[in-house]
Structure 1
Amino acid sequence: MLVKKRDIIDFTYCFIWGFYVLINELNYTLLVDQSSFSIWVQVSRYTAIIVLLLLTLFNNTIPLRYGILVSIVVPLTIYATRTIYSLPIIVLVLFIVCAQQANFKHVVFTSLVAQLIVLALCLLGVFTGTVRDLVYTAEEGRIRHSLGYNYATYISKVFLFCLCYYFFLRKKVSLFEVIIFEGLNYLIFIYTNTRTVFYLASIFILAIYLVKRFNISDIKQPLKSLLVFVYPICAVFSFWIQRMYSSDPAKWSFLNLNNRLLMGKNALLEYGINLRGTNIIWVGMTAYTRNNLLTYNYVDNSYLYVLITYGVIFFSILMLFEIIIMQYAIHEKNFTLITILAMLAGYFIIESQIIDLAYNPFILLAGYSFSNTIRRRKKVGSTKL
């Protein structure tokens, strides 16, 4: 009976997770009319909240200490996010809280399937002429194709995260797979001309291959300490670069990738930073592409975006989550996961998906890590990732 109940909870969690990811990912594409489809995004959020609350009530095996911790973190998070973007954060926290009830590999597999479904629909639509392929001429005359997504950079992001999902699920990676993935990476680069993600994906593919090929079994202590705090370190580094650029834009202009530092400087000057966030109507490339009368103001740096939008309290909670996740990965000696998390820490300096559940399921490991740590201390045992 316990096994059956656990399987039902696992299936339900993965089903609602897949539904949420699929709907929110479709919202980034030209497969749907965003103005009318936004109602489905809201439906996915409220449905997730209801189902996750019911799952928590249905499952009576949650450790007491975990329950106490959750009763502190959830109200604090809700208090910390008083902005118009509070609803997605409530959904995020509930998914994290309930994550320990599901098999995380099933969750990652669900993310991979949902992303590949949307990707396949976009490419099929573009090549059959039923979905628009937006073509841009960027700096230096570069031609960029959106391939069914709202902007040219989206498909490269999808590819990078799909690599993360795939490598996490695979025990071994062959040289043939490396060649295939690098070929796909280059093909996407040819169409989208997204240089930074292309280079990052190439390094990532090689790093994962080496990690799996040589069966690394341990990490020396200085590197362990560095990895545990890699997210706060990347956050501080990105803030430092932002400050240097703001003080002398001409000197640091070579780091201003597609005006990322300029947009960060403008956002800091206009909105500042406070404890509980700021109500901001962010205009990203999706909105700007659909209506170029709007003023583009989006901040691509995840750390700066979260700090400005949600404030110091939530940003601190997020960094704590990332530290706990990395500690858990190191404790489990899951070097594939460690490599993925370290790569994403650097990636989030130039992109804003750190709390976007449509892309980043690894943040759910915060709840999984809390629960397994408590079970280990109670000598109940924990599940290997």
Structure 2
Amino acid sequence: MRIIIYLLLFMKFILDDIYSIKTILAGIILLIIFKVALNTGLVNILDTFLFIYSARNLEFKKIIKVTLILNIILMSCIVGSSMVGIIKNDIWYREDYSIRYGLGYKYTTFIANYFFHMVLMYIYINGKKALSSIGVIVIYIINYIIYYFTDTKAIFYLITLILVIELILKIKKTDMKVNKGWSIITQLSFPVCMIVSIFLTITYNGSNVIYNMLNNALTGRLALGKSAYEQFSISLLGKNIKWITGRVGIEMGFIDTYNYVDCAYLNILINYGVIVLLILCIGFMFIGKGVKEKNTCIVIIFLAIHSITDPQLIELMYNPFLLLLGEFLRYRIKINKKRKRIKIIY
């Protein structure tokens, strides 16, 4: 199926009626991504780029609507099946012996991260208006239930903060059009979060009181990130990394060597290399520059913040907003009826 999809998407690329500098740029990026896929052994990144390019001239809100509906159906089936015993509901324990449930997913944080992105999808679809009071209440109740069973604190607080912002926008009846301040914050969100998270990780010093407090607040993420940085270093086009997660560690009997990096920026930097991280960062900055609705600003800003503590930024199965990067490669057609001419605007 993957080969068939590659052929279809490649045919679309070759048979495209519109050729421009952006087409050449897309071809160069494709070659870079292909090399990264070879270096890392991770074909998913090639799939992701091909879908980004192919979706560049589609109506993005329709894609998000379909994705959200499918996510709601699948999550309902998975959680429901785990409750009645069709799917195993794994139980995990923290060091303080508090219980965490998988709710049908392989790990406790998976459902929380899916729900986080679903909330962003719903906000994006809402577009020109803030969330309704009922919408805020329903989302918060689901958010709390997921938090109660999975004990995923970061996602719970992020979603709660998003809902507070939406309530403020609604109560104040704020104009949802983007002003200069919102535009600047949106454009800078990704580079600022990327630089800050990577800097703090690389310069982490366990004997420093402030760093130690930050590391504890981030449940050991700084220490793990520093260890991975020293062990694997970084490259331009990525390398094959054997990440050891908690589940793999338990099954293979070496849980103490857990080395997975949760920070998306550092994870991408170590795994996929400098160039891929820069492409993503520049791409989201470009998207932020053209945003016209505050709800879209909220989506981009919270994607950037979420990526400090979680690795789903580059995973299309979680984050369909990756397809927004196709906006950079979009062309528009302007029809002049009087002269009967079609002009391509890049």
Give the TM-score normalised by structure 1.
0.79
Answer with 356-365 or 85-94: which moved more: 85-94
Q: 1:155 aligns with which of 111, 121, 131?
A: 111
Counterparts of 2:272 and 2:229, CA distance in 1: 13
In 1, Cα distance between equivalents of 2:72 and 2:250:
24
Residue 88 of structure 1 deviates from its aligned partner by 1.4
Q: Which amino acid aligns with 2:245?
A: G
Q: Does 1:236 align with 2:195?
A: yes
Give the deviation of 1:108 after TM superposition: 1.1
Rate the CA distance shift 1:258–1:86 in 2: closer, same or farther, 3 A.
Answer: same
The offset of 1:251, in angstroms, is 4.2
- 1:216 maps to 176
Pick from 141, 154, 170 the counterpart of residue 196 of structure 1. 154
| Partners of 1:136 and 1:143 within 8 A in 2 | yes
Contact 1:354/1:360 (<8 A) preserved:
yes
Q: CA deviation at 1:139?
A: 3.3
Larger displacement relative to structure 2 (204-213 or 305-314): 204-213
Unaligned ranges ≥5, structure 1: 1-42
The question of whether the paired residues in 1 share the 8 Å contact of 2:78 and 2:87 is answered with: yes
Whether 1:258 aligns to 2:216 is no
Check conservation: 1:63, 1:371, Cα contact below 8 A.
no
1:142 is matched with which residue: 98, 101, 114?
A: 98
Tell me the distance in 2 between the aligned counterparts of 1:48 and 1:342.
Answer: 32
Q: Match for residue 10 of structure 2?
A: 53
| Greater mean deviation of Cα atoms: 316-325 or 211-220 | 211-220
Cα distance in 1 between the residues matched to 2:296 and 2:251: 37
Q: Partners of 2:19 and 2:165 in 1: how far apart? A: 37
Q: Does 1:271 pair with 2:228? A: no
Tell me the residue number matched to 2:266.
304
User: What residue number does 1:98 align with?
Assistant: 54
Aligned to 2:338: none
Identity, in percent, stands at: 27
In the other structure, the counterpart of 1:8 is none
Which residue identity is paired with 1:218? V
CA displacement 1:252-302 (0-9 Å, x = unmatched): 222222221121011011111122222111123453455444632110000
1:182 aligned residue: 140
Whole-Å Cα distance in 2 between the matches of residues 375 and 85 of structure 1? Answer: 39
Aligned equivalent of 1:354? 313
How far did residue 192 of structure 1 move?
Answer: 0.8
Structure 2 CA distance for aligned equivalents of residues 327 and 379 of structure 1: 24
Give the SS at the match of 1:117: helix
Q: Secondary structure at the match of 1:283?
A: coil
Q: Which residue of 1 aligns with 2:35?
A: 79
Of 355-364 and 308-317, deviating more is 308-317
Counterparts of 1:118 and 1:292, CA distance in 2: 32
CA-CA distance at 1:177 after TM superposition = 1.1
CA contact (8 A) 1:81 1:314 kept: no
Q: Deviations over 1:295-349 (max 9, x none)?
A: 32110000000111111122222211121121222xxx12211110001101000
1:316 and 2:289 correspond = no
Moved more, 285-294 or 273-282: 285-294
Higher helix share: 1
Aligned-pair distance for 1:62? 3.3
| Structure 2 residue matching 1:62: 3-state secondary structure | coil
Segments of 5+ residues of structure 2 without an aligned counterpart are 335-341
The 1:334/1:85 distance shift into structure 2, 3 A limit, reads farther
Aligned pair count?
Answer: 332
Q: Are the structure 2 counterparts of residues 63 and 168 from structure 1 closer, same or farther at C-alpha, using a change threshold of 3 Å?
A: farther
Q: State the alpha-carbon separation in 2 of the partners of residues 293 and 125 from structure 1.
A: 31
CA distance in 1, matches of 2:205, 2:50: 37
Q: Which moved more, 1:195-204 or 1:272-281?
A: 272-281
Q: Which residue identity does 2:240 align to in structure 1?
A: N
CA shift for structure 1 position 380: 5.3
Relative to structure 2, which stretch is displaced further, 343-352 or 80-89? 80-89
How far does residue 73 in structure 1 lie from its aligned partner after superposition?
Answer: 2.0
